[in-house]
Structure 1
């Protein structure tokens, strides 16, 4: 895996106008630095995109995220209601949730390749239209109170979600390089998603109770998503004008030209994703699955532990899942300025060019997630459960932004970011299917109790801590993994080193690195096949229960 023990030598920054402009700005303002990524040495008659256009793109995309997150928060909040109205058990509810994950594992990789080829703006339009059709069918299934109809509707909805998941971050990667606004924009979009998810989760049972029909909760989500489609069409028009009017953006550190779409399918680059990329995915494998499955059951768990009704439990679970929305943009700015994507805990203010001061403790996210799950498992009081919810809300704020930005930073080629992010989603959804089915079986076995399910949470969270610790240790020894820790100043000053390591990865160590990438893909395929087996088993045993 080309792990190098030597500390990297100092290299002068690339000599281009972008570096000079950024150095003049300094590191005080992450948002102001966003415009610098568009100043390149690439000959062009078009002017670079101004900051106002970039911020407008972020704002429009975040509105799209707000609407889609609304509908995502509904099903988990209404778990008790759905089980009662659809006459299903926990295993069947897990199957209902896993049906979307199953479709994602089937189609997300082709969708990632297609997004890189067509561009995020084009892909997100048809994705949201299909997503809205799926939501209409889900609402109709709720109206008919049909479990089988609901599964089919969720599968249709998943087809649209597959296209939109990758497209949003692909668009950001073509506007903002690492350490020059990418983390900040992703964080802002995620914060808007948290707000949308909070509203959807918190109001789901309120709408159901006040209207007297739980299907109205899903119809409201349909109306919200119609607004999302209007916003999506406006963004498509906005993006089309922007790419005609302005020059392509380039990474001010490495000189890499950022692309919104490619001229061809770049399968070779996808098959050679670096080992550092797979290290980030190893952490996401456990951390993201813990978060997703916990959120699926948080409302019902709150009902049981606090002995409250579904409406109050919905507010509690919404708060724990989304309360940290205000921390997420701050984290994004921090990452853009100071790096430390692995540790996110300590950085050198005295000498930001000193690597040795950057890496000190494991990621807050993994550690916080484990503490939260441990409290839920071993502290049986309501106070302890409330504390666990609080720790979880704080820890969750550090996860998605760090993972997405680390994936982008670890890659040699931005042109296949859509495919790389699709690999991440495929892996997470495969793991989610397996864990959802296991959690459903354990809960049914425990007569609807969460005693054994929480033990599963603890194990997953503990594994995320182990991977975090390994990443910290590896970052001390490997130059390639240490890129994730670089501050903005370090990245600008060592762009030439990054380019040299990229060349060495492909040419000097090409055979070994390609072999490692293929091994990682083989492991991913094994996980995917395992998840399909789990889904089929869950479908068979679920319908026979």
Structure 2
């Protein structure tokens, strides 16, 4: 039975953290707020959870291998396919465009059918798109490559959400979710590093850059094998076990829901949108910077594309070992907003160096700082999104909103920076100013979040450790009840942010189609 030692709600959004230090018994709560007993429920044992992590991580390793090869060969692709910076930006933006169109739909479907099914279908489509991209590289067809990238994006859309949806159904916030994220992201970085650093070597040694994309096809075959194994594993697990319970809130986690609940998408907590504001600037800045990092290294260091690819790959993936450690730190000690602030400040330092100290030494220093800073972002952002939500049944849709937002920003920033670079005689002197502005906004948001966390418990709970989440579980349950009842202010904020995201998405579509149709920014 649930403890009756409850904290009365006095002011919405506020609470005294010191009022409750007791560890109450866990009561199971499902997605609609009803309660039930934990008796009869058998949670998956640790060895099954570890096997799920290994399989999903293996899937991520294969897909990440091909994620960075296009940006690593920017100079080669522009030369071999006879395209300029703006056209290359449109090539990269083609996937972003498809993501903004279909990602939200994919998130809703993933919440309904489950992560394992979505991964299976998505990887099949992704492999077909990879074959078409390789064929386009073989025939040197720019338009054909855009078509292949669009089809490949359809598969990528399904798998991006599905992997983390699986993790959210096996692990609760502060109870393994961040550690699992960190491990998967760390191994994924190894795969991406291998692909990005070897891309130009393969192109040089074989004499045809198309071989890089054909090898990516072979890696996708490995990914499909791992996907089938995980699908089979999940079906067995669903028959043997009945679910995992969040020890802090008593919520029973599930991989899929019985029905679509679009209403919940329009009523996400304001803290979710606060984390989204940080991600909008920081994630987009890092992605677009990394798209151009290899060519930037070629220009600043005066070296070959092979050596430059090693520099940029090192800047992106050198800190892979740190990502799992960060996940464990967040699970045990919390401090998610603090991690976001440190990430933003270090990113700002790195982009300032690359912008204002445009010497060999300054650029090398910026790459070094960036290598550490970029690894501080993904895990706390994703874990903060999950932790801020009172209902995990729509986590897939919530994460899909994040990806949609980031890709909409990517389209706009990529096309604008591509045009700026063409007008600046292929130099990065003016483009880097855009990077500084983006991460500067991220720093401002993170500092604001730190300040607001002192006042609002809904935001402050992102700082709580595993122990505090459990001992203060009554606060979380009370806040969920207040949220479920709803308030006009809360729903207005959520709806306003959702509409703003739609406006941003439509703006990115306009930028993309304007660039395709007219060749202008």
User: 1:363 maps to which residue?
Assistant: 341
Match of 2:518 in 1: 541
For residue 459 of structure 2, what is the aligned residue in structure 1?
A: 481
- Structure-2 residue corresponding to 1:425: 403
CA contact (8 A) 2:119 2:159 kept: yes
SS at match of 1:324: coil
- Summarize the Cα distance change of 1:110–1:377 in structure 2 as closer, same or farther, 3 Å threshold: same
Q: Quote how far apart the aligned CAs of 1:512 are.
A: 2.0
Partner in structure 2 of residue 353 of structure 1: none
Structure 1, unaligned runs of 5 or more? 20-39, 345-361
Q: Which residue of 1 aligns with 2:167?
A: 172
Aligned to 1:79: 74
Q: Name the CA distance, whole Å, in 2 between partners of 1:74 and 1:215.
A: 11
Match of 1:7 in 2: 16
User: Aligned pair in 2 of structure 1 residues 272, 245: CA closer, same or farther (>3 Å)?
Assistant: same
Aligned counterparts of 2:47 and 2:466: Cα–Cα separation in 1: 22
Matched, 1:445 2:423: yes
Q: How does 1:491-530 map to 2 (within 5 A)?
A: 491-507=469-485, 509-530=486-507
TM-score (norm 1): 0.90
1:249-295 per-position Cα deviation (integer Å, ceiling 9, x unaligned): 01001100101000000111111100000000000000000100000
Asked if the contact 1:3/1:480 (under 8 Å) is kept, the reply is no
CA distance in 2, matches of 1:88, 1:259: 47
3-state SS in 1 of match to 2:175: coil
TM superposition shift of 1:389: 0.2
2:412 is equivalent to residue 434 of structure 1: yes
8 A contact 2:17–2:472 mirrored in 1: no
- Tell me how far 1:505 sits from its aligned partner: 1.9
> 5 Å matches for 1:87-486?
87-344=82-339, 363-486=341-464
Match of 2:44 in 1: 49
In the alignment, what sits opposite 2:32? none
1:380, CA displacement in angstroms?
Answer: 2.3
**Compared CA separation, residues 514 and 438, structure 1 to 2 (3 A):** same
Q: In structure 1, the residue corresponding to 2:358 is in which secondary structure? A: coil
Alpha carbons of structure 1 residues 383 and 73: separation in structure 2 relative to 1, 3 Å: same
Per the TM alignment, residue 54 of structure 1 is displaced from its structure 2 partner at its CA by 0.4
**Deviation per CA, 1:402-455, whole angstroms, max 9, x where unpaired?**
100000000010010000000000000000000000010000000100111100
Asked if 2 retains the 8 angstrom alpha-carbon contact of 1:430 and 1:527, the reply is yes
Aligned 8 A contact 2:15 2:475 in 1? no
Separation (CA, whole Å) in 2 of partners of 1:499 and 1:412: 9
Any conservation in 1 of the 2:26–2:250 contact (CA below 8 Å)? no
Query: Is the CA contact 1:4–1:478 (under 8 Å) kept in the aligned structure 2?
Result: yes
Q: Distance in 2 between matches of 1:275 and 1:430?
A: 21
Closer, same or farther in 2 for the Cα pair 1:17/1:281, shift >3 Å? Answer: closer
Question: Which digits, 9 at most, give the CA deviation of each residue in 1:465-495, with x for residues without a partner?
Answer: 0001100111011111001000111100111
**Which has the larger displacement, 82-91 or 7-16?**
7-16
Change in CA separation of 1:364 and 1:245 when aligned onto 2, cut-off 3 Å: same
Contact 1:12 1:496 in 2 (8 A): no
Structure 1 distance, partners of 2:212, 2:343, is 32
Secondary structure at the residue paired with 2:288?
Answer: helix
Q: What is the CA deviation profile of residues 187-221 of structure 1, one whole-angstrom value per residue up to 9, with x for unaligned ones? A: 10000110011000000000000000000000000
* Correspondence 1:16 to 2:25: yes
The whole-number CA distance in structure 2 between the counterparts of 1:44 and 1:441 is: 62
- Greater shift, 45-54 or 428-437, is seen at 45-54
Cα contact 1:141–1:150 (8 A) shared by 2: yes
Could you tell me which runs of 5 or more consecutive residues in structure 2 were left unpaired when the two chains were aligned.
1-10, 29-34
Q: Secondary structure at the match of 2:24?
A: coil
Counterpart Cα distance in 2 of 1:9 and 1:203: 54
